[in-house]
Structure 1
Amino acid sequence: MSNTRDQQLAATFVSLADTLVADFDVLDFLGMLTERAVELLRVDAAGVILADQRGGWRPAAASSETSGLVEVFAAQTRQGPCLDCVRTGRLVVSEDLAADTERWPQFAAFAVGAGFGAACAIPMRLRDEVIGALTLLKTASGPVEPDSISLGQALADVATIGILQQRAVTRHEIVSEQLQATLHRRTVIEQAKGVLAERGGVDMHEAYTLLRGYARVNRRRLSDVAGELANGELDATQVLAPHADTRGA
């Protein structure tokens, strides 16, 4: 392996591992993966499919327009090495796509028509979780070199860890935002209870009961009513009306 290729490989692994950046874009990330695969693995094209939220598989990136069409066609026909790869979580190889029309009737014919003679699909997986597949395509029939497959699997593994890591961070941020929003709503409700307690001469428990009762009668969210009351947009006497009626009686 030449020094230049060593440097390219090192730079690729560093790039694939760095997903914790503020402007991370998964499509750009996978596009880089396919481009580097072509540069480093002695193949002519590459593509990636990923699992979607509905349990299906969708093309996510490709090194060229033609390889992108092949991945789209594979997803549409649910045939081809990439689909078999994500179903099994294992490497799937076709050294001669023209001879694989029985295994993948529609896909093989389309891929050959697009100018490809061989394909190799590498699973993107971490333990039992398969998130997609990296497909390597050659214009000529024949095997993808074993060291290219090994290196391709290493690239796919690093990319998979990076994507899952980014997803975990995103989920954590969403949970944190939800928690902060919940705490903020709790604070607003406490403020509204204080307004009612002061204006109506009631304790905090009764203030909460009145606040909740007003929200339910008017079919509104408790936090929305509390916010308007705390901001002075809602007159406290409207919320205190049931208490005033009881006291008057």
Structure 2
Amino acid sequence: MEDSSALDVAAATLALATTDARDPAPALGRLAETAHLLLGVTAGAALISEGAVHGVASAGPDGPCGAVPAAFGQGPGGEAARSGRPVLCADLTRERLRWLAFVAKAVTAGVTGAWALPIRSGSGTTVGALLLLGGRDTVPDLRAADLLAGATGGAIGYAAELDRIDLERRQLQDALRSRIPIEQAKGVLSAQTGLGIDDAFGLLRAHARRGGHSLSEVAAAVVDRRIGPAEFTPE
């Protein structure tokens, strides 16, 4: 790789790694477009979840791009995504029986070679695949392609981790909001009945079960004085 192309790859890798991938569809589109422009081949990218490939994006001439969806079905793209391993084929005519529909479309469009690399998140989990389609005189730089795929996978994994952290934060906030009135209600009932805190909690829980209400709903009613100690009976 010449210095100029190395700089281009480095800049593209950085751009893909820092992209906002909370919505992975635009990130896949940027990966495909970057691979097409930088490597000079038709490119496609897709995600995989529970064994199903989806969200296919492509960039390049219309003819070869028409073969990209088939490549992510029973083709090299789908195989790389599902196996987590590169699938490299410089001569598709030798793989007609392996990928019938894809090879037929690819050869008709002038594509003779296909290279698929897994897209992995920062944790190493395979989240999709990058597909490259070329002609007889077009062999892509697979080292550069792997860098681009890795950068996109890292961005997707980072976004997923942010989503997980945000979900946990919201769950903790919800739990705290529901817990505060329960603790307040335990104190109110304890003061009203002369029972200990644990026994007061037992009254709350028994009342909630009998009425089919949530514990937080009953607790809020106690704190607001909408129900009094006379309505409570032990478990």
How does the TM-score come out when normalised to structure 1?
0.78
Q: Say which SS state the counterpart of residue 219 (structure 2) adopts.
A: helix
In the alignment, structure 1 residue 153 sits paired with structure 2 residue 146: yes
CA contact (8 A) 1:118 1:137 kept: yes
Q: CA deviation at 1:203?
A: 3.3
Residue 118 of structure 1 is aligned with which of 109, 113, 122?
A: 113
- Structure 2 distance, partners of 1:199, 1:123, is 65
In the alignment, structure 1 residue 235 sits paired with structure 2 residue 230: no
Give a deviation string over 1:150-194, Cα, whole Å, max 9, x none: 100111122222222222222122122212222222222101223
Unaligned runs of 5+ in 1: none
Percent of aligned pairs with the same amino acid: 32
Q: CA deviation at 1:201?
A: 4.4
Alignment of 1:60-209 (within 5 A): 60-63=56-59, 70-75=67-72, 78-114=73-109, 116-125=111-120, 129-138=125-134, 140-142=135-137, 144-145=139-140, 148-209=141-202
Alignment of 1:40-79 (within 5 A): 40-43=38-41, 45-52=42-49, 54-63=50-59, 70-75=67-72, 78-79=73-74
- Structure 2 distance, partners of 1:63, 1:228, is 60
Q: Which runs of 4+ in 1 moved over 4 A?
A: 64-69
Q: Say which SS state the counterpart of residue 88 (structure 2) adopts.
A: strand
CA contact (8 A) 1:196 1:236 kept: no
- Relative contact order higher in (CA < 8 Å, ≥ 6 apart): 2
Count of aligned pairs between the two proteins? 231
Letter of the aligned partner of 1:50 in structure 2?
L
CA contact (8 A) 1:210 1:240 kept: no
Between 1:112-121 and 1:158-167, the stretch displaced more is 112-121
Q: CA deviation at 1:74?
A: 3.8
Q: CA deviation at 1:113?
A: 4.0
Change (3 A) 1:235 1:71: farther
How does the TM-score come out when normalised to structure 2?
0.82
CA contact (8 A) 1:48 1:62 kept: yes
- Structure 2 distance, partners of 1:10, 1:125, is 18
Give a deviation string over 1:88-118, Cα, whole Å, max 9, x none: 3322223233443112112211333455332
Q: CA deviation at 1:69?
A: 5.1
